[in-house]
Amino acid sequence: MNVLEVRGLRIDAPQGVIVDGLDLTLGEGETIGIVGESGSGKSLTARALVGLLPSGLHASGSVTFRGRELLGARERAWREVRGTEIALLLQDPFTMLNPLMRVGRQIDETAPARGQAAARLAEVGIREAHVADRYPFQLSGGMRQRVGLASALASDPTVLVADEPSTALDVTTQREILRLIRSTQEARGMSVVLITHDLRVAFAVCDRVYVLYAGQLLEVGSARELEHHPTHPYTHALLAAEPLLEHRLERLPAIPGAVPRAEAVRGHCAFAGRCRFTAAACRSERPQLRAVGEGRATACLRYEEIKGSLVPTARESSVRIEERAPADLLLRVDGVSKSFGGARPALDGVSLAVGRGEKVGLVGESGSGKTTLARCLLGLETPSAGRIELEGLDVSDYAALSTEERRRARHTVQIVFQDPYSTLNPARNVGFTIGEAIRRARLRGGSAPTVAELLELVGLPAAYSVRRPSALSGGERQRVAIARALALQPSLLVCDEPVSALDVSVQAQILNLLLDLNEQIGLACLFITHDLAVVRQVSERVYVMHEGRIVEAGPTGDVLAAPREEYTRTLIESVPQSDPAWLAPANT
Amino acid sequence: MTAVAWARVHARDSGLTPLVVASLVIVALAAVAAIFGPWLAPHPAGAQDLLLGVSGPSHDHWLGTDDLGRDVFSRTVVGARTAIVGPLLVALGSMLLGNLLGLIGGYRGGFTDTAVSRYADLVYALPALLVAIVVVGVVGGGYYVAVGLLIVLYSPVDTRIVRSATLVQRAQPYVEAARTGDVPQHRIIFWHIWPNVLPLAVANAFLTFAFSIVSLASLSFLGLGVGPGAADWGRMLSDSRTLLFDNEWTALGPGLALVATAASMNVVGDWLFERLTERGVRR
Amino acid sequence: MTFGASRTAFVLRRLVGLAVVVVLVSFLVFSLLYVAPGSPEQLLLGNSKTIDPETVRAVREQYHLNGPFLERYLHWAANAAHLDFGKSIRTSEPVAHGIWQRLSLTSQLAGLAFLVTLLLGIPLGVLAAVRRTKLVDRGVVFFSVVGLSAPAFASGVLLLYVFAVRLPWFPAFGQGAGFLDRLKHLVLPAAALALTATGLVVKITRAAFVTELEKDYVTFARARGIPPSRVLFRFVLRNAATPIVTAAGLILAYMLAGSVLVEVTFALPGIGALLVDSVTSQDIPMVQGLAMLIAALVVVANLVVDLVYPLIDPRIVFGKSAR
């Protein structure tokens, strides 16, 4: 008998439907993954599986645990199951734990006997005795997530529902947590439902994968098969749009448009608006999920017709790495250090260079200092030591520059920030935001493009200038941010994790845009990211940062293929791979 | 500018409970009474009828008369003016002062911020009504001195709210983008940050309004503030204590009007606050 | 820094801040004498008609009115520190004595009101947050808003009307003699005082609990099968406590102001009534004494609240607020 069976799960909210009919099964000891982008309804599904939807939301359908119907049952029935049979692990380690209770006590709350906290912490890899006496705010994100896992497992559940357990963590910590989940699963014989937006993680960790898009289940299958033979255009396009660690493509095949809200696409195929293969039938009714093989199902009406085209395109490297003549230097960073008074400096003697028209990557995890460096380049922070030169002009201290010098600096380098949802003033429309940047550019008697020209440059219609950010999708907002940065016609664009907060299906659009801008107007790029596959795609040279220092540098292909430093190697190995050895416990 | 805020306020799930609707109606009525009171009242507020004296509700005097034969209903209606004008000035004044201090302190940080915060903490610690009693009582000056004093005494609340909101906005990328775009500081504060902070400040202004209705009425109850004989709810309540046995409406009229108006302002302010903070859900 | 050391440093910082407040307030209070209409000598003599130079000189000597401002202030402050504010102009008794006599009545009144407020307000607030049924939630919200908006004198007069005039259950005026009689006399005034304070406490408690109940750690706790009552008391209560403790501090400040209104309404000879009488009769020394008393009470209330904070939330000590 299946441990968990879900039939026709529907989640409704006052604004409309969120999940429109989800079926899934979970067998003993199995790991299934629910993969979806934002708005797919995956997190709410996780909550529905333990009967803890936020107030105002309503679930209907059927959820049975070992044959016992839970959905629609009384609260008491749910309470018997929560924690002891089905456990939920939340996404954000920073808000998941009670901030005012010591960690050990929190675990003891649900353990069958007292005094087990130490043992349970050891199970999740925390061996130091004092941790149990700490408050959550005294621990790092990775440790908090481990504590969360220990708490969730304290009642020895049969099923673990893990909602994006590694998303808020660094890529190296991510691997540890996923390894931990795998090892505890094997030791206890648990079944796991893993919710994630990252296909790579799903393929690495799960046996079977369910693909959710805007509330509709589009495809089901084993991880292996889904990875190599997707049966739905969405899965296929998503796989194609993901940058690869191994190769670089001239352009990523991007999926046009943005992820819709579930309510907006009821009544027809959720992906129809963005799909290459859309036909009239796709728009007139919602396709049902149907079996197309052993354990495989698809919701694509046209599968049989198009399956030939769904073979993953040959992803060979199609870009030759050109030999670049030494370019004239736009940016020179020499021995820059910055300290905020903590245990160690944020930046410790960093040196790098970017030439005209170059695409340079800066890779690091959180705490590496990459954002601090970006801020120093733009005068949002001032380095404690070292030198920053922009086209020969010393901008180590922006406050000390004359007005003319600062103007020059601003026309040389601009920045694009990570979070598209706060990068634009919510109270102002697009025209104002870009227009003001243009006004600043013209102030010193310079020339500047018009709002319409800039919008066109980033691929947005001129009519968007009257829109407010709330009417734009994440990808569109990021384009506006790029347009704003370009108003001053800089030679170098610093991009601080510009796609990390975007849906995967949209990331490719922005990456392509940056590559296009580099080609068309010779815009040099310092691309800061933690994602090695992205850095492979957009950069020709790369610097690797760790704890405030540059630990390795060189042409991207060389560094990724043959890393010299331990840390770089660890980073590369932390990228999720479908090989089961990736999750095997570390040998220490 | 605040169109975004207003759009959120009018969205479908607007939280318009019957209580909120009733409060909006009462606020409107109070405003009408404050502006048009003298013309709407059936009797002139000061008209005495010493022969009649105190009397209960009748056809001619809907809420009866007080000991000088004055019509309670008319005085209640006219009393809306002093009950509203002063608090309006306090709310606006406190908002302006608080916004200015909060924006500048919050944005500039450092010494300016410390100075603003210490000042706000100090004034906040003082019990406003008591200070008002002492100052107005000792120094004299009446209604408008009280208004000015309350503006200063209530401004820390606005200052704190605006300062917090400014700190939050200041850390946002769009402000940093403006800085890297060389937008001058004053423009960033007033043209970029303030539009995002203003809705919150306006919501708080309603609450300040409600508090000042109560404070000013308290002052006039104690004999400070408005002059004797004025048609003012606080005054009327003070005078009514000896008339309770004869005509309870001398107390109930202004009393209920006072509570209703202040409560409605509170409800509207809370409703705006909730709409503006919770509904800021994106994606 | 260890936990204990951080905590001590925190408390010391607060103490210094409050001391500054007291000094500043004392300065302002001292200058009342010079801000009030009329010359200081006139005020101190009670505006009696004949003010011959002899009397003036005597007054100046007695109150140290000669000499620079700062010197005068220091004299006054030194006396004030010994609780010597001079004599009341109105009653000619020493200020401290006059205050002391009336203090017990006001403390009883405020104490009773404070107790009622907390015992009624907090449970109601929690109830409204937990039982989000329309009836309960809206009913409690309505009650709290009305209470909050009704100034103590308005509710006082209304209560007077209902319970002392219509149904004469309680006496309308005076303070009564003996424990039970005193209690009877204080019920209505305390109720009037408590009404507004309860409204505030209910509002803040409800808001604090609603905020906490929506947080992730509550969902996680429930997901682990912890029973709802335990989630509420063991998890949420402490997290919601900070704004409630702040409210308690505000309540105390409110009680001071409210007692003025209530004592006047119910003709209770307490501190509040004394303040009003002193202010209207320009009895400056008494006003100064009362003002410093109030300042001291506010400072103590703030201090107690500040001492309680770190006990609830260890993060405050380290200057962190979240995460």
C25 contacts chain B (CB < 8 A): yes
Contact A83 C235 (CB under 8 A): no
- How close, in Å, is residue C87 to chain B by CA atoms? 17
Q: Would you state the pLDDT for residue C30?
A: 85
What values do phi and psi take at A206, rounded to 5?
-100, 155
DSSP β-ladder status, A58-65 and A68-69: antiparallel
Q: Which of A245, A243, A203 is nearest to A225 (CA)?
A: A203
**What's the ipTM?**
0.86
The pLDDT tens digits for A449-484 are 899 999 999 999 999 999 999 999 999 999 999 999
| 3-class secondary-structure state, position A413 | strand
Q: Which pLDDT does position A313 carry in this prediction?
A: 64
Q: Please check whether residue C319 touches A, CB under 8 A.
A: no
3-state secondary structure A204-224: HHCCEEEEEECCEEEEEEEHH
Q: Which domains, and CATH codes, for chain B?
A: 80-282 (1.10.3720.10)
Instruction: In whole angstroms, give the CA distance from residue A296 to residue A223.
Output: 11
Cβ within 8 Å, pair A90-C314? no
Confidence at A420, pLDDT banded by 50, 70, 90: very high
Asked if the model's pLDDT at residue B69 lies above 60, the reply is: yes
Residue A423 Cα, gap to closest chain B Cα (Å) = 4
Most confident of A152-166, B118-132, B134-148, C60-74: A152-166
Q: What angle do CA A419, A425, A431 make, to 5 degrees?
A: 115
* pLDDT reading at A321 higher than 60: no
Instruction: Identify the band that residue C4 occupies on the pLDDT scale cut at 50, 70 and 90.
Output: low
d(CA A237, CA C36): 81
Instruction: Please give the residue of chain A at the shortest CA–CA distance from C311.
Output: A100
Rounded Cα–Cα distance for residues C235 and A227 (Å): 43
Query: Can you give the pLDDT at residue A432?
Result: 94
Nearest to A481 by CA among A513, A433, A529: A433
Average of per-residue pLDDT values in chain B: 86
φ/ψ region of C178 (left if φ > 0, alpha if ψ in -120 to 50, else beta) reads left
Distance CA(A56)–CA(A77), nearest Å, equals 21
Q: Which residues, 6 or more positions from C100, have their beta carbon under 8 angstroms from its beta carbon?
A: none
| C-alpha to C-alpha distance for A476 and A420, rounded to whole angstroms | 9
Q: Which residue in B170, B180, B188, B202 has the most chain A C-beta atoms within 10 A of its own C-beta, making it the best mutation to test that interface?
A: B180
Q: Do C221 and A154 touch (CB under 8 A)?
A: no
State the CB neighbour count (10 A cutoff) for residue A556: 22
Q: What is the pLDDT of residue B11?
A: 47
The answer for residues whose C-beta is within 8 angstroms of residue A233's C-beta and 6 or more apart is A271, A275, A276, A277, A300, A306, A310
Please say if the pLDDT value at position C17 is more than 60.
Answer: yes
CA distances from B89 to A452, B149, B205 (A): 45, 11, 10
Give exposure, B209-222, as e/b (b: 16+ Cβ within 10 Å): bbbbbbbbbbbbbb
Q: Does A399 touch chain B (CB under 8 A)?
A: no
Torsion, Cα of A409, A413, A417, A418 (10° steps): -140
Q: Does C148 touch chain B (CB under 8 A)?
A: yes
pLDDT at A507 over 80: yes
Spatial distance between the Cα atoms of B77 and B68, rounded to a whole number of angstroms: 17
The sign of the dihedral angle between the CA atoms of B114, B115, B120, B123 is positive
Does B283 have pLDDT greater than 60? no
Interface contact B17-C138, CB threshold 8 A: yes
CB contact under 8 A, B244 and C160: yes
8 A C-beta contact, residue C209 and residue C243: no
pLDDT digits (tens, 9 = 90+) for A162-172: 999 988 888 88
Inform me whether the C-beta atom of residue A424 falls under 8 Å from chain B C-beta atoms: yes
Most B CBs within 10 Å: which of C34, C274, C279, as the mutation test of the B interface?
A: C279
Beta strands in A304-412 (DSSP E): 329-338, 347-355, 359-363, 385-390, 393-394
- For residue range B198-230, what is the model confidence (pLDDT) as tens digits? 999 999 999 999 999 999 999 999 888 777 778
CB-CB contact of B71 with B52 (8 Å)? no
Structure tokens at C37: 């209409």
The span from the CA of B125 to the CA of A407, in Å, is: 46
Contact assignment for A155 to C225 by CB distance below 8 Å: yes
- Interface check for B281 against chain C (CB to CB < 8 A): the answer is no
Q: Which residues pair with A338 in a beta bridge?
A: A347
Which of C261, C276, C280, C306 is the best residue to mutate to test the B interface, defined by the most B CB atoms within 10 Å of its own CB?
C261
Q: Does C32 touch chain B (CB under 8 A)?
A: yes
Nearest to A84 among C225, C227, C313 (CB): C225
Which pairing describes strands A16-26 and A191-196: parallel, antiparallel, or unpaired?
unpaired
Residue predicted with more confidence, C168 or A426: A426
The pairing of beta strand A159-163 with beta strand A86-89: parallel
Say if the Cβ atoms of B13 and A14 lie within 8 Å: yes
CA distance A287 to A308: 20
C 41-60 near A (Cβ less than 8 A): none
